Structure formats: structure tokens, C-alpha cells
Amino acid sequence: MDGFTDWPFRVICRELGSAMSYTEFVNVDEIAHARRAASAVKLKLKFSEMERPVAFQIYGHVDERLVETARALQDLGPDIIDLNLGCAIRKIAERGAGAGMLKDPARLGRLLASLSAALRIPVTAKIRLGWNDRSRNYLEVSKALEENGCALIAVHARTKEQGHSGPADWSAIAEIKSRARIPILGNGNVHTVDDIEAMKQETQCDGVMIGRAAIGHPWIFSRREKESVPLEESIAMARRHLGMMTGLYGPEFGCLIFRKHAVRYVHHLVSVGKLRSRLVLCSNVAEYESLFAEALKIEGKSKEMTRES
């Protein structure tokens, strides 16, 4: 997930049981053109050996550039190149990249054939069910991908028009799985450990891809529900995660981009709105530390009150 699944977060997820890693997607145009963006792209593609198998995810709208860039990226050592066919962001999808590519399955087939021929490592894809309810062409798309060398398909069971909300149609994952001879990962509307098992049962998918449910709760990969992780443990992980991020990005930027993780690690304190709104303003480690300490104090007091009553 762009903006979230960077190297620190993926390492934490892997330690807790995730089966493979996908990098945040990278734009092949940026890689080909912008020198300025080179260091940002390098950070996005940083990974540890313990994360293998690791997939570099790419997107773009020019087939030749996708192939050329994928070929160059494989020299950085990923196990897989994954093609993003699911991004619904307007400036990406409406320019014909991400989910915009779903509109033309025949062209996708040709692209996959070129990628498979050009690369010495497997090519996989992440799709949605189609552009909108009137064009749910996921069977056609998955067939074109598989027939042209795609090694695995991750299916986000929503259309482009649905974005990230609304019901995910797991029956479509089951349909794809029942026809495919390659592994199929299911994705969408998995919030809890029970949801993981339910999706597997309902779709027979080979694996479950977890996105937002892992933010602030990487323990989902250890099959632990949110409620079973005490605030102390959550804050200990937040401290470690923050340290990894400041190590990677430097103290200033690391603290800035940790904010979106920080608020999710203290979901226990939903009622303490003020503390959460102060967390999203933290700009250095000392500020985070003081709020973590405050959170633990609030939690301690509320436990004491529960014991007394």
C-alpha cells in the first residue's frame, strides 16, 4: 500500500507472519524520467532478505516502458515483478494505468506475454473486478493474464468505481479461482482473523492479501485479533516502528510520516480524541514519547477504575 508498506512496516509484518511482501507501487515513468525521484524510488524498493519472496509492484500506461523498466528492476533482486491493474486513483486510472488497463483484456494479454518473455523472474498481477458494475470483466482479464504467463493473480474484489469502500464481492474471487490453474490471492473486506478464514472458505483462494487491517495491527499476520493486543504491547511496537522509520528517512521526515501509523497503534484509546489529535501533530521523537507515556497513564488509570468498581 502506497504510503504505508515501506521497508520498516513490511519487516514488522513479516516477523509477525506475513507470507510475502509487495513493495509500494512505483511509477515506471518516474523511474524512466525523473532523476529527482530516483532516491524516493530507491527507498520504496528497499527490502530485506528475510522478506523473500518479495514482489516489486509497478504501474504505468505505456507498455514498452513497463517492459523496459521491469527488465531493469529485476537486477535489483526482487523475486517477482507485479503489475498493478487495480489502482483507482483518478490521475492514474483515467490516464490508462492501474485499473485503467482493465478495459482492454486483449492488450493486457499482449503486455503479459512481453513481460514474461523479457523477464527471468515471474510476473504477477493485481486486478479489480472491472471498471464499474457494467463492465465486470474479471474472468476475461484473469484468463488473458494466465494464458500469457502470469504466475499469480491477486484479486481486489471491488470495481474501480467502488474505490476502497462498499461491499467486496468474494463470489467473484471464487469464480476466478475455480477457473484458474495459477494461485489466486483474495483481497478486500478482510478486517479480522475470522475474515481471513471466511474468505478462504468461501473462495478457496490460495492466500489472503491484507491491506488496511494491518495498519496499527500487524499482529493480524499472527492470527491475533486487535482486542487481544494490550496497549503496552502496541506502544512498544510503535516505538520500534518509529525508530526504524527515523533510521530510514531521518528524524524529521521519519517522524512526520509515522503520524498515520501512530494513531492506529493507539486504537485502544478511541475515546481519548484529544490524544489522537495531538499524535497527528508530533514532529519529533520526544513528542511521541510524551504522548505514548500519557496514553499508558490513561490506560493505567482506567484499569484501576475498572478494578475498583
Ligand X SMILES: Cc1cc2nc3c(=O)[nH]c(=O)nc-3n(C[C@H](O)[C@H](O)[C@H](O)COP(=O)(O)O)c2cc1C
302 vs 157: CA distance, rounded Å: 40
Cβ neighbours of residue 215 closer than 8 Å, sequence gap 6 or more: 1, 4, 260, 261, 264
Pick from 10, 14, 44, 156 the residue near ligand X by CB under 6 A: 156
What is the smallest separation between the CB atom of 230 and ligand X, expressed in angstroms? Answer: 24
Q: How far is the CB of 113 from ligand X (least distance, A)?
A: 22
C-alpha of 131 from chain center: 20
With binding defined as CB under 6 A, does residue 263 bind ligand X? no
Q: How far apart are CB 152 and ligand X at their closest, in Å?
A: 13
**What minimum distance in Å lies between the beta carbon of 54 and ligand X?**
14
Residues 187/199, Cβ–Cβ less than 8 Å = no
Q: Does 164 bind ligand X (CB under 6 A)?
A: yes
C-alpha torsion angle, residues 190, 15, 79, 68 (rounded to 10): 70
Residue 2 binds ligand X, judged by CB under 6 A: yes
Known catalytic membership, residue 87: yes
Asked if residue 190 binds ligand X (CB under 6 A), the reply is yes
| Choices 6-14, 62-70, 71-79, 204-212; region in contact with ligand X by CB under 6 A | 204-212
CA atoms within 13 A on the CB side of 220: 22
Choices 106-114, 210-218, 224-232, 288-296 (CB under 6 A): range interacting with ligand X:
210-218
Whose CA is closest to 122, among 94, 140, 146? Answer: 146
Q: Which residues sit at the interface with ligand X, rule CB under 6 A?
A: 1-4, 24-25, 57, 84, 86, 126, 156, 164, 187-190, 210-213
